[in-house]
Every structure is written in C-alpha cells, then in structure tokens.
Amino acid sequence: MDGKGSTPRWRHTEHERFARAVEGGPQPVGGPDSKDDFADDLAIVELLRSMDVGPDAETRARMKQRVLTAPPPEKPLVLSSVRRVGARARLAVAAAAVLCLLMSLAGMSVLLSRDALPGDPLYGIKRTAEGASLGLTFDEESRALKHLEFAASRVTEMETLAERSSAPADHLTALADLRADAVEGSRQFTEYATSSDEKALPSLRDWALGQYMKLGTLRPRLPGEAGAHADTTMWLLASIAQRAHDLAVRSGCSAVVSGQSDPLGPLPAKDACASAETDPNSSSGRDPASVKPTPSGLPGQSGSATPPVQPTQSVAPGASNPGGTQPGTSTPPSSDKPGITIPLPLPLPSISLPLLPGISFG
C-alpha cells in the first residue's frame, strides 16, 4: 500500500523476508535472497533463544500448587449493596404505580358518583366524598351550610326517585340522611348565628320552609312507609324554621338564648326582651340576604334526632274539632312571640305528631 500513513510496499516485503529468515524458510527468487542481509539480526535472535529467562521447574511447581490451593475469591460487597438498592428501587416504583392507580380509580369513582341516587352502587361513595369535604372544612359557618346543602340534595334525589318509581327503601335512606344533616346543620348554624351573626337566622328559617314545601308537594307520591317517615321529616323542618324564627325575633334583645340547647341548637330565652346596648362603631359586616344555604347530608345519625317538644294531637283534615279550631290547624298557646304561617294546600299528616307552639297552617 502506497497511501499516506501506511507501510511502504518495499518495507512490507522486507518484513516478510526477515520473518522467513528467522523461521529458516526459503527466500523469494530474484532478489537479495541470501541470509547475509539479516546476519546481524539473526545473530541477535539466536542469542535471545539461547537465554533462559523463565522460572525454573521448582518455581513453576510452587506457583502451580499455590494457584490450585488458593481459596475462591469473595463476592464484592459493592455488588451486593447495589443489588439491594436496585430491589428497593423497584419496590418503590411498583408501590408508586399502585398508589397512582388507586388514586385514579378513586377519582373516577367520585366523579361518577356525583349523580348517584339512594340505592345505587355508587351512592355510598358519594356520601363518603361528602363526609370528606366536611372533614376538610374548618369554618363553623361553612360546615353548617354544607350540612344544609347535603340535606337539600336528598330532597332533590327523592324527587328523581319518585319519577323512577323506586322502592320505598331508597326513599327511607334519603329521608334518614336528610334528617341527620338537617339536624346537624341547624345546630351548627344556630350556634354560629347566636354567637357571631344573629342577622343570618332568617336565612335558616327560609331554607327550612323551602324544603318543607318541596317535601310536602312530594309527599303524595311517596310509596309505602316512606310517606309516614316524610311526615316526621316535615315536622322536623317546621321545627327548625320555628327555632330560627324564635331566635331571630330576639336578635335585638340582651338575652337571645336561654343557655340551654337541644338537638336543634340553642333554645331561645323566655324572659322579657330588653334592648341590648349596641356600639354604633361596631358592625357585623354581614348582609342577611347573603346567607342563603344552597340545596343539598353527611352520613350521621338517623332520624331519631327529632327535638324533644310537647306533643299535641293533630286533627285529620275533614274531622270535627271539639276545641273550636278549624280542621288542619293548630292553635298555639298564649305567648308574646309571633308565630310562623306555612301556606296551604300541603298534605297534612293525619297521625299524632309533635307540633311546636307558634306554627300554624293555613
């Protein structure tokens, strides 16, 4: 090869001739084929061959014995630690993947359960999500409004159940959740209002009356035992409205609450109303119209949370009343506090239920 950086052809030929001279092979014909050209080089080769530079037989035997009897090499510690770290890393990656999968499934379940109704497989997930949202709400007023929102959602769900002609058990589930959230929301809201913002009480009264009207309109369409339980729930809503009304009437008094409470919250004071001294520089900074509980419970106690009240006998529509009152109405005892008038027509229960003083129908 004559290219740049490569061995010249004549040098390559000379190397081949020297190799044949060392091996004692025949030289190529037609050139300086005598070994005299490499006499000095061949003399050096012979001298190197005659030198004994390797170990003697005894040394070789000793080295062989040492190699054969040497213990096997230990495994490097670095390799084992690397393997342990690799296993832990794989386990961490697998755990993270499983966690992401579970979170994705949970998020999809919560999203799909937003329209679930009592009796649906995803209704339990919906209630759990509502409970989680309450657990993440730390403001007293916001928690009360969430309870009232969930309670109103049960009424809306019952309207859908009635359109689908669902089983009575589904309505009973919705009514139980409605009562639980209505009681808890009323208690928390009245405690907040009487201690922080008494002007918010009329909004609770309006919410309770609104849900009473919706449930009363739905009452004739409820199947089986759901109708009787709806009557109890309607009286509970009327009790909440009466409680909010009584507390709102005393909002300008020095003593608003009596210091006692029941499942619906603080009880109003019964003494004469004395005007409370107010600081003209102070302001509640709250508009009563801004407190409007939006429609929609939280898993809680079932419908046994009806407040202890004085029971009176209700009169069935169309029956005679020896006391001289009109059928379907109740006459509150003599009291200096105003009452609430709930407009009719609404389906009135014909069974004996607790009736609060100050609530009249008509």
The structure tokens listed for 115 are 């329209």
Residue 163 CB-density burial (10 A; 0-12 exposed, 13-18 middle, 19+ buried): exposed
The structure tokens listed for 267 are 């009880």
Whether the CB-CB separation of 273 and 289 falls below 8 Å is answered with: no
The structure tokens listed for 177 are 């959740």
Question: pLDDT tens, position by position, for the chain (362 residues)?
Answer: 455 556 677 667 777 777 777 776 555 554 455 556 677 777 777 777 777 667 778 888 888 888 888 887 766 555 555 556 677 787 888 888 888 878 877 777 777 778 899 999 889 889 998 999 999 999 999 999 999 999 999 999 999 999 999 999 999 999 999 999 999 999 999 999 999 888 999 999 999 999 999 999 999 999 989 999 999 999 999 999 999 999 999 988 888 899 999 999 999 998 888 765 555 454 443 333 333 433 333 333 333 333 333 333 333 333 333 333 333 333 333 445 455 555 544 444 433 334 444 555 44
Q: Which amino acid appears at position 137 of this protein?
A: T
> Helix, strand, coil proportions of the chain in percent (round to 5)?
55, 5, 40
Q: How far is CA 60 from the centre of its chain?
A: 78
Q: How far apart are CA 2 and CA 221, in angstroms?
A: 108
Whether the CB-CB separation of 202 and 248 falls below 8 Å is answered with: yes
pLDDT at res. 333? 38
pLDDT at res. 231? 94
In the DSSP assignment, the letter for residue 254 is S
Q: Which amino acid appears at position 113 of this protein?
A: S
pLDDT at res. 286? 39
Q: How far apart are CA 91 and CA 74, in angstroms?
A: 28
The structure tokens listed for 57 are 């037989």
Q: How far apart are CA 129 and CA 34, in angstroms?
A: 104
The structure tokens listed for 289 are 């119209």
The structure tokens listed for 40 are 């000095």
254 φ, ψ to 5°?
A: -70, -35
Whether the CB-CB separation of 161 and 209 falls below 8 Å is answered with: no
Q: How far apart are CA 80 and CA 109, in angstroms?
A: 44
C-alpha angle 327-241-263 in degrees, rounded to nearest 5? 110
Look-up: residue for tokens 């608003």?
256
